[in-house]
């Protein structure tokens, strides 16, 4: 497995397994065990996915040593703030049945982010978290956190990144500030008929790889950490085998023509989206 080195020196696998939208506990547990058997070592979940307990059961029963795994979870909006973050973190740790996390992210750029960051810095210094970061933060919110958040810069920013929303400028900004970009939604959840896209199909035929493998390799060649999800083991294997070839530079450039520079899901600066996320109370 290829890795990236985070700004605090720890190594993170460049290809992992995500469990968003696997709410069924048995299916989630089986999927994570299948992924680990397929050789995935990075597992990404979140309190708001409501499946941390299932992920924890899989980690406990997978037969792979804890120190070989890289486990990420995230703090939901309703639990921002110093005290709430400490409580939420320990609840996540309990559900995951772990002694520590490899990466803990603020899931959305709303609420008392600075209070949460102070709490996360303390947990990081105590060795409860190996790296801390954020998700869905725009460059201005990242800079705000860098300037006023505390001593520890975020190690990772997990953002929507796929052929139709490529985050080229955002990635450059993050690189300048020594923050690792990580993709969620690498396949755009199938939007815009991504698996039937003519350019991607042509590259699929050229390299004798699936469209999914082309997309994943395009991301990892850019140095983007990626966490595709599937509940089918053959798809997990297919995704994992995206690292055994390289796209040539001309083909990397051709994929840039697909970029709309617009989210296919939601605008994090839209007041209605902020209102919806702020009012979404989960039993976590």
Q: What are the phi and psi torsion angles at 104 (to 5°)?
A: -125, 130
Please answer whether residues 227 and 17 qualify as being in contact, where contact means their C-beta atoms are separated by less than 8 angstroms: yes
Query: How many other CB atoms are found less than 10 A from the CB of residue 265?
Result: 13
Please answer whether residues 154 and 142 qualify as being in contact, where contact means their C-beta atoms are separated by less than 8 angstroms: yes
Is the torsion defined by CA of 120, 154, 55, 24 positive or negative?
A: positive
With residues binned 3-state (H G I as helix, E B as strand, rest as coil), the percentages for the chain, rounded to 5, are 50, 15, 35
Please answer whether residues 274 and 136 qualify as being in contact, where contact means their C-beta atoms are separated by less than 8 angstroms: no
Q: Which helix (H) or strand (E) holds 160?
A: strand 156-160
Residue from 49, 104, 110, 124 carrying the catalytic annotation:
49
**In angstroms, how far is the first alpha carbon of the chain from the final one?**
33
Residue 49 annotated as catalytic: yes
Q: Supply the residues annotated as catalytic.
A: 49
């Amino acid at each position: 497995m290829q890795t990236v080195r985070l700004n605090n020196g720890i190594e993170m696998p460049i290809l992992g397994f995500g469990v968003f939208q696997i709410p069924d506990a048995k299916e989630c547990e089986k999927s994570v065990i299948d992924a680990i058997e397929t050789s995935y070592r990075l597992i990404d979940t979140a309190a708001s996915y409501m499946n941390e307990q299932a992920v924890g059961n899989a980690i406990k029963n997978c037969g792979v040593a804890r120190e070989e795994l890289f486990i990420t979870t995230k703090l939901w909006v309703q639990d921002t703030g110093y005290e709430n973050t400490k409580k939420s973190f320990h609840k996540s740790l309990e559900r995951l049945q772990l002694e520590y996390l490899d990466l803990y992210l603020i899931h959305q750029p709303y609420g008392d982010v600075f209070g949460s960051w102070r709490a996360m810095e303390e947990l990081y210094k105590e060795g409860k978290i190996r790296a801390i970061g954020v998700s869905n933060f725009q460059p201005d919110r990242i800079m705000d956190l860098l300037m006023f958040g505390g001593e520890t810069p975020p190690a990772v920013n997990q953002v929507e990144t796929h052929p139709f929303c490529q985050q080229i400028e955002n990635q450059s900004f993050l690189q300048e500030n020594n923050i690792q970009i990580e993709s969620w939604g690498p396949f755009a959840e199938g939007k815009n008929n991504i698996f039937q896209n003519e350019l991607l199909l042509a590259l699929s035929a050229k390299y004798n790889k699936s469209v999914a493998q082309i997309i994943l390799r395009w991301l990892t060649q850019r140095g983007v950490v990626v966490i595709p999800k599937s509940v089918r083991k053959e798809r997990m294997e297919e995704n994992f085998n995206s690292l055994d070839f390289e796209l040539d530079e001309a083909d990397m450039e051709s994929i840039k023509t697909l970029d709309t520079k617009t989210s296919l899901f939601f605008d994090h600066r839209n007041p209605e989206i902020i209102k919806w996320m702020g009012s979404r109370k989960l039993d976590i």
